[in-house]
Amino acid sequence: MGLTGLVALAVFVLPGPGSENVYENPVQRGMGFQPMKHRQDADATTSHGQDVRAISHTRSETQRPVILKLGHGLDISHPVHKAMVFMAERVKEKSGARMQVQIFPSEQLGNEKECIEALQLGYLAMTKTSSAPMESFVPQMQVFGIPYLFRDSEHFWQVLSGPIGKRILLAGESKRLRGLCYYDAGARSFYTKKPINKPSDLAGMKIRVQNSIMSMKMVQAMGGSPTPVPWGELYTALDQGVVDGAENNSPSFRTSRHYEVCPYYCLDEHTCLPDILVIGTRVWNRLSPGEQRILQEAADESVAYQRKIWAEAEEKDLETVRQQGVAISRPDKAPFRESVRTVWKEFEGTEIGGLIRQIQEVQ
């Protein structure tokens, strides 16, 4: 569903006992839409009857629960989705049900880019996105796309949980995007229709990448042909030969069933792109300080839970795809590192280059 659909679906609340117009959207009026004071509630629901207003208040003026809408593209069996469910449960518990987070998975409310834009405009409260699509909105996020930047998982989490990671989370506030937390999305590796053992094996291959400048630079440096394809369209693109392969972590490889069309998984582990839970500042600034605290605490608690179930899922999902006939290889990473040195050099003397140095200095 695109932004037009989100606009049409839900911004205004049906006036009535205990209700109010919770979001008068100036952008909507600017696009030629006028507030409809007596709009039916059905206009604010999906075809399944789900309310998709960014933020809703119900009940009496003094007992209105705040309902935040969260849209993302993952399957409900994915460990990151499970972490967001955990976060939503903690929000409800901590607030005594005065705050609720309603989750819409599997791109029900749009792909990653569409959901990010919906946050900026206030049509959606929260989303989960990879750091890659965020590069277009928050340039500092490009640093996560530098291949082989992190020494290991411990280094990765020291950076994300420290001052650098926290600063990058808030770097998008001027673009109406506030990061709440990072989720582990593991290391990304290539899965393809033919074996990949060294960078030169990618020559002439169309590799699906996210809508990310850094991902495109990396695949080009390795000799492949980067081809952006929306996640929800990737299975068909692989099956029909639009692309020859893709790159992702093992839980996403398994839950997407891409192993059915890509029988080779090369664990070169070229990047560690975190997933990010983001809230639009249009919605964040409408929350009271107490509500902000509850939401942030719940997000922080969900990180520890997600890291635990992620580690379990990675090994389990690797074994699952192996049993499905996928050939899993662990190549020498040195040639891959060498092939992307040009990407590193490109950012010398820039803000991203400065971030790279700061990250390398973290012990």
pLDDT tens per residue across span 285-326: 999 999 999 999 999 999 999 999 999 999 999 999 999 999
134: amino acid identity, one letter: M
Mean of pLDDT values over 62-71: 88
In the block, tokens 């007596």 appear at 38
Task: Say what percent of the chain tops pLDDT 90.
Answer: 82
pLDDT at res. 64: 81
The architecture in CATH of the region 3-131+172-183+274-309 reads 3-Layer(aba) Sandwich (3.40)
Query: Would the pLDDT of 78 be above 50?
Result: yes
CA distance linking residue 22 with residue 35, whole number of Å: 12
Mean of pLDDT values over 59-73: 80
pLDDT at res. 154: 97
For the beta carbon of residue 123, count every other beta carbon within 10 angstroms. 31
Question: Domain limits of the chain?
Answer: 3-131+172-183+274-309, 188-273+314-361
Query: Would the pLDDT of 21 be above 80?
Result: no
> Confidence band (pLDDT; 50, 70, 90) for 52?
low
Rg (CA), the chain: 21
Could you report how far apart the first and last alpha carbons of the chain are, in Å? 43
pLDDT at res. 53: 62
CA distance linking residue 39 with residue 285, whole number of Å: 26
Q: Copy the structure tokens of residue 96.
A: 């005594």
Q: Copy the structure tokens of residue 194.
A: 């033919």
> Confidence band (pLDDT; 50, 70, 90) for 4?
very low
pLDDT digits (tens, 9 = 90+) for 99-131: 999 999 999 999 999 999 999 999 999 999 999
The architecture in CATH of the region 188-273+314-361 reads 3-Layer(aba) Sandwich (3.40)
Within this chain, domains 3-131+172-183+274-309 and 188-273+314-361 share the same CATH topology: yes
> Confidence band (pLDDT; 50, 70, 90) for 228?
very high
Query: Would the pLDDT of 18 be above 90?
Result: no
Asked if 107 and 6 touch (Cβ cutoff 8 Å), the reply is no
pLDDT at res. 289: 97
Q: Could you tell me which residues come within 8 angstroms of residue 147 by beta carbon, excluding any fewer than 6 positions away? A: 218, 221, 270, 271, 336, 337, 340, 343
Query: Would the pLDDT of 61 be above 80?
Result: no
Task: Say what percent of the chain tops pLDDT 70.
Answer: 83
CA distance linking residue 248 with residue 237, whole number of Å: 15
Torsional class of 261: left (φ above 0), alpha (ψ -120 to 50), beta (otherwise) = alpha
CA distance linking residue 209 with residue 246, whole number of Å: 6
pLDDT at res. 54: 78
pLDDT digits (tens, 9 = 90+) for 264-280: 999 999 999 999 999 99
Lowest mean pLDDT among 52-61, 84-93, 249-258, 276-285: 52-61
pTM of the model as a whole: 0.84
Q: Calculate the average pLDDT of the chain.
A: 87
Comparison of pLDDT for 24 and 5, the residue scoring more: 5
pLDDT at res. 357: 98
Query: Would the pLDDT of 56 be above 80?
Result: no
Q: Could you tell me which residues come within 8 angstroms of residue 342 by beta carbon, excluding any fewer than 6 positions away? A: 221
pLDDT digits (tens, 9 = 90+) for 344-363: 999 999 999 999 999 999 99
pLDDT at res. 36: 26
Mean of pLDDT values over 131-158: 97
